[in-house]
Amino acid sequence: MAERTRIILAQPRGFCAGVERAIEIVERALQKFGPPVYVRHEIVHNRHVVESLRAKGARFVETLDEVPAGQITIFSAHGVARTVENEAGERGLHVIDATCPLVSKVHIEGRRYSAQGREVILIGHEGHPEVEGTMGQIPGGVHLISAPEDVARLNVRNPEMVAYVTQTTLSVDDTCAVIEALKRRFPAIIGPDTKDICYATQNRQGAVRNLADQVDLVLVVGAPNSSNSNRLREIAAECGKPAYLIEDASQLQTKWLENTRAIGITAGASAPDGLVQDLIAALGERGPIDVSVLSGIEENVRFRMPAELADSAA
């Protein structure tokens, strides 16, 4: 990196409205009720965010039996199954729901399809908390698939009465391929096309495609368990550019930077912008850089706070 290297930032990148809302819910709950506040699962998939909130008094748990009866309990942005909601009610927990409104929208769609007597197919990644929550919100059982080849293995009662919904953080292109396979096998299937993939996911995926066209290397700041961050790295790689997912600047490897004149940086929807700034600083320590931001979509979305926290300022 002896020559001056161009650093180009994707636009948009980083926090989405659902993540900002979830983090603010935890911060407002801590302010209003005082610590500890219990959070089921990581509030968002980012270690730095979780550690920051833990330092303020949030306690992160994976099961509700870790929460003392009657305590403030926040459900993460990924959503939870009905069984979790019921368990919280039975144990008298004071629940504040930080489920992203766009995830809740998928739950509502799935329940509506089920109420119509349709079998519901969920396009998503097995084991992801959002998928587990969505499957547990739709009565009557859900078929989970993740790739076009999964469609042939589906065994449904009535091919005329099927519907699909999708995880919100999938690759738009990959999801379209699965939907096309579903439509070929089940011509009567109904569903929301790719509308369930959230605006922020789609915007960031479009931005990283534009970014990859102009750089030699793409660095994605995000957690290894972040679905949307992984999709950003995959898309950059599909565009033919070396692409790496890193949690922070400490994971930057010098060998990646050899023979690069332009480095693109983006960040997953749960990655704080401070981590991007730290990465830029780390690159600047290796040689002279020029930093610019690629023109892109300006996001002005903001979701409401839960009513009991609406008047609390974090």
Question: How do residues 137-185 score in pLDDT, each as one tens digit?
Answer: 999 989 999 999 999 999 999 999 999 999 999 999 999 999 999 999 9
Q: Is 35 left (phi over 0), alpha (psi -120 to 50) or beta?
A: beta
Supply the residues annotated as catalytic. 130
Q: What is the mean pLDDT of residues 91-110?
A: 97
Cα 130 to chain centroid distance, Å, stands at 9
**Architecture in CATH for domain 5-15+199-293:** 3-Layer(aba) Sandwich (3.40)
HSE-up of residue 290 (Cα within 13 Å, Cβ side): 7
CATH topology of domain 17-100: Rossmann fold (3.40.50)
Under the banding of pLDDT at 50, 70 and 90, the label for residue 193 is confident
101-115 vs 17-33: helix crossing angle, rounded to 10: 110
Give CB contacts under 8 A, 24+ apart, made by 110-117: 110/134, 110/137, 110/138, 110/142, 110/165, 111/137, 111/138, 111/139, 113/138, 113/163, 113/165, 113/190, 114/138, 114/139, 114/140, 116/161, 116/163, 117/161
Which two tokens mark 199? 């605006």
Cα 39 to chain centroid distance, Å, stands at 17
Ramachandran angles phi, psi of 145, nearest 5°: -135, 160
CATH, domain 102-185, list 3.40.50.720, 3.90.1150.10, 3.40.50.620, 3.40.1010.20: 3.40.1010.20
CA-to-CA separations, 101 to 22, 32, 149, 153, 233, in angstroms, rounded: 10, 22, 31, 32, 25
Helix, coil or strand: residue 206: helix
Q: What is the mean pLDDT of residues 27-40?
A: 98
CATH 3.40.50.11270 region(s) of the chain? 17-100
Tell me which amino acid residue 137 is: Q
Q: What is the mean pLDDT of residues 292-314?
A: 90
User: Which helix H or strand E contains 75, and what residues bound it?
Assistant: strand 72-75
Under the banding of pLDDT at 50, 70 and 90, the label for residue 310 is confident
Q: What is the mean pLDDT of residues 100-129?
A: 97
CATH 3.40.1010.20 region(s) of the chain? 5-15+199-293, 102-185
